[in-house]
Amino acid sequence: MRIKFGELHIGEKARANLLHCCDTNWATGGPKVREFEEKWGNLFGYRENIAMSSGTDAGINACAMLHDFGARRGDEIIVPALSFVASSNAVLAAGFMPVFVDIERETMNIDPTRIEAAITPRTRAIQVVHTMGKPCEMDMILAIAREHGLKVLEDACEAHGAKYRGDFVGSHSDAATFSYYVAHLICCGEGGMVSTNNPEVAAVLRSTRTHGRRDGKLYFDFVRLGFNSKMNDLEASLGLEAIDVFWETFTTRKKNLRYLMENCADLSEFAWFNQEEEHEVLCPHAFSITLKDPSLNFTRMYAYLEEHGIQCKLNFGSLPTQHETFAWIGHKIGDFPEAEYVGENGLHMGCHQFLTQDDLDFMVENIHNYFRNEV
């Protein structure tokens, strides 16, 4: 593949950090993880930051935290019908039931006008996902949560540095989760984070990530549901380098994303692309294409771009109806028409900081060539 979805380049600072781990014989969670948590929080003003072994583990722990605030096993968490599977898997792994709500086709985010209809006496939280780095409509979602006494969780794994009405995503909710996989703006190889401005929530999360021990204790005194979810210093060694250049990375990726958006704008008759509105700052996670006319044939578009060296990923699809893993819940095709449409007609590709101008032009050319051949 000429254009990969994401790349990891290990620089001199990360190498020095890794060598220091070797020299000190310290590879588990330790001083570098604590430094990473502090610097991550300083980037965005999050008061409490609890590093995890992956974005998925961040989601599991964020959901499990609800047990300390009145939730019981089998209670419900509202989730978008379309997202990366980890968001809903986390709900199940923490002992809860995902209740799916359809999305808005153009934004691929949960449709806030459909949330209240999904609330039952067993609903304990609303988990939103800022898909492709586009912030959800948090004002409406928070108002619904307040009215019904629900917690709000933000899956911001794809939204490092995104803003909603002037505030960074992650600052609007009870807890926000982030991923540091290779395709994301900050990469630790693996790794994740839960950020919160609530010290009580943070104390629970520091316990759940280490088997449910009492916060700060090493003794075998387990007081709640817990997991082995700790980040290690090897992962933090990579992330510390990425934090130091975060805004440079963000600016470069945003420039790449805008170039793709602007140079494909003439195709807006045929497809939806990333959207950035006045009240938000979009995170440059990926460049997304969703066909407006299914006859343009998503399957051929995917194959065409891959054959020409551009790595593509599906726009997730409807988890409850287009992925077998959730078939046991009993939904059927047609229950989530917007998510299903996007799943049948959308893909995304990288806009990462290591792309050259020639790479971007190559992407634009091949996208246009596909539509030119189909229309």
Given pLDDT bands bounded at 50, 70 and 90, which one contains residue 12? very high
pLDDT at 216 over 80: no
pLDDT over 90, % of the chain: 97
| Neighbour count for residue 346 (Cβ, 10 Å) | 24
pLDDT over 70, % of the chain: 100
pLDDT of residue 258: 98
Round to whole Å and give the CA distance between 193 and 136: 19
Over residues 20-43, the mean pLDDT reads 97
pLDDT of residue 257: 98
pLDDT digits (tens, 9 = 90+) for 323-339: 999 999 999 999 999 99
pLDDT digits (tens, 9 = 90+) for 226-247: 999 999 999 999 999 999 999 9
Among 115, 165, 104, 108, which Cα is nearest to 134's?
A: 108
pLDDT of residue 218: 76
Given pLDDT bands bounded at 50, 70 and 90, which one contains residue 291? very high
pLDDT of residue 118: 98
Q: What are phi and psi of 28, to 5 degrees?
A: -80, -170
pLDDT at 172 over 90: no
Given pLDDT bands bounded at 50, 70 and 90, which one contains residue 219? confident
Q: In what order do the strands lie in the sheet with 167-168?
A: 167-168, 163-164, 280-281
The overall average pLDDT reported for the chain is 97
SS3 of the chain: CCECCCCCCCCHHHHHHHHHHHHHCCCCCCHHHHHHHHHHHHHHCCCEEEEECEHHHHHHHHHHHHHHHCCCCCCEEEEECECCCHHHHHHHHCCCEEEEECECCCCCCECHHHCHHHCCCCEEEEEEECHHHCCCCHHHHHHHHHHHCCEEEEECCCCCCCEECCEECCCCCCEEEEECECCCCCCCECEEEEEECCHHHHHHHHHHCECCECCCCCCCCECCCCCECECCHHHHHHHHHHHHCHHHHHHHHHHHHHHHHHHCHHHCCCEEECCCCCCEECCCCCEEEEECCHHHCHHHHHHHHHHCCECCEECCCEHHHHCHHHHHHCCCCCCCHHHHHHHHHEEEECCCCCCCHHHHHHHHHHHHHHHHHHC
Q: How far is CA 363 from CA 108, 264, 296, 301, in A?
A: 22, 10, 18, 13
Among 45, 81, 11, 41, which Cα is nearest to 332's?
A: 81
Over residues 338-342, the mean pLDDT reads 98
pLDDT digits (tens, 9 = 90+) for 123-153: 999 999 999 999 999 999 999 999 999 999 9
Supply the pTM of this predicted model: 0.97
Round to whole Å and give the CA distance between 184 and 179: 7
pLDDT of residue 63: 98
List of residues 6+ apart from 209 with CB closer than 8 A: 50, 52, 57, 61, 226, 227, 228, 229, 230
pLDDT at 214 over 90: no
pLDDT at 197 over 90: yes
pLDDT at 106 over 90: yes
Over residues 71-79, the mean pLDDT reads 98
Say if strands 346-349 and 175-179 run parallel, antiparallel, or are unpaired. Answer: unpaired
Given pLDDT bands bounded at 50, 70 and 90, which one contains residue 1? confident
Virtual CA dihedral for 360, 340, 180, 28, nearest 10 degrees? -150
Residue with tokens 């054959």: 307
Round to whole Å and give the CA distance between 302 and 288: 12
Among 62, 52, 30, which Cα is nearest to 196's?
A: 62
pLDDT at 217 over 80: no
Given pLDDT bands bounded at 50, 70 and 90, which one contains residue 375? confident
pLDDT at 7 over 80: yes
Round to whole Å and give the CA distance between 362 and 3: 9
